Amino acid sequence: SLWFGDPKLPTTEGGINPAEKTMDKTGVPYSNLNKTQIENWYQFKNLPDDYVGFYQKDGGAINLPETLKTFYSQASIAGVQMLENTPVLDIKKENGKYTIQTGEHEFTTEKILVSTGAYVNDITKYFDKQIKLDIWDMVSAYFEKTNPNIDYPTWFAFQQPNDENSNLYYGFPELDWKYKNYIRVAPDYPFAIYDSPSERKKPTSEDFKETEEWVKNHMTDLDSNAKFKSTCMLGLPKNKNKLLYLDFITDDKNVVVQTGGWVAKFAPTFGKICSQLLINGRTDYNISHFKIESEDLK
């Protein structure tokens, strides 16, 4: 994993200096790099002279298809039943229990975990709560290698914002489970921000232009025309002091909500915390900084 750019820049995804501090504290080895090393060893070009960074040899991309298969099989072995295409359409509390309606089914339960991501308020409305989130809609794309012998590491460029956007970009190596001879490069800023996913719109080719420019100006051996384009939504707390939410949402402590943040990587830990909260009413982890407070609600 290669991080480079302005080491002092704070972003919603952290920064170079704090990451180095954490690695120093926890004994994770890494190598410091200057601009020339980043360009010569990892094929970037035309970087500003004052850019520095680090390379951490064990960092990289999570194989999400395999991770999901593992989660699904572990859950199935434990007796969990999963239903696809089954939106929750109503929740009511009767005689101390919750009744959940979907189109075809009705479930009765004491405990609920709400983890509907950007769609969280479609469910929390049944508990008369609405969480203040900015819903980021983000583009990403793949770029064809013009030299099959090169590869990039997993990388993130921490750059000062420009007039249009945060100017942050990231990318991955060619991955076994994705397009052959293509690598992903994406902006770490949204092309649109919504209050609700119902406002979702499609990106235009303009929304990929700045990423194509970044590839053209700063990467070698790639065709700078974006291919295999896609979008993805992410909820981030409007409250800039919060990175994500994980808390009870009802006074009976029977309903837990996790939403917001860059949290795919925390799925196993957050799953454990959520189950501890629902089964024991408390958790061994300090989650005070993920609390949903009155100022976080509409």
Ligand X SMILES: Cc1cc2nc3c(=O)[nH]c(=O)nc-3n(C[C@H](O)[C@H](O)[C@H](O)COP(=O)(O)OP(=O)(O)OC[C@H]3O[C@@H](n4cnc5c(N)ncnc54)[C@H](O)[C@@H]3O)c2cc1C
Interface residues toward ligand X, by CB under 6 A: 87-88, 115-119, 122-123, 138, 140, 232-234, 261-265
Give min distance, CB of 205 to ligand X, in A: 18
Residues 6+ apart with CB under 8 A from 140: 184, 185, 186, 187, 229, 230, 231, 232
Burial, 24: exposed, middle or buried (Cβ in 10 Å; 0-12, 13-18, 19+)? exposed
Among residues 117 and 203, whose Cβ is nearest to ligand X? 117
Among residues 52 and 267, whose Cβ is nearest to ligand X? 267
Give min distance, CB of 259 to ligand X, in A: 7
Residues 6+ apart with CB under 8 A from 4: 16, 33, 38, 44, 47, 51, 52, 53, 54, 155, 156, 157, 158
Give min distance, CB of 140 to ligand X, in A: 6
Among residues 117 and 173, whose Cβ is nearest to ligand X? 117
Give min distance, CB of 85 to ligand X, in A: 8
Among residues 264 and 279, whose Cβ is nearest to ligand X? 264
Among residues 122 and 195, whose Cβ is nearest to ligand X? 122
Are the beta carbons of 153 and 1 closer than 8 angstroms? Answer: yes
Give min distance, CB of 232 to ligand X, in A: 3
Among residues 90 and 110, whose Cβ is nearest to ligand X? 90
Among residues 140 and 159, whose Cβ is nearest to ligand X? 140
Among residues 39 and 88, whose Cβ is nearest to ligand X? 88
Give min distance, CB of 264 to ligand X, in A: 4
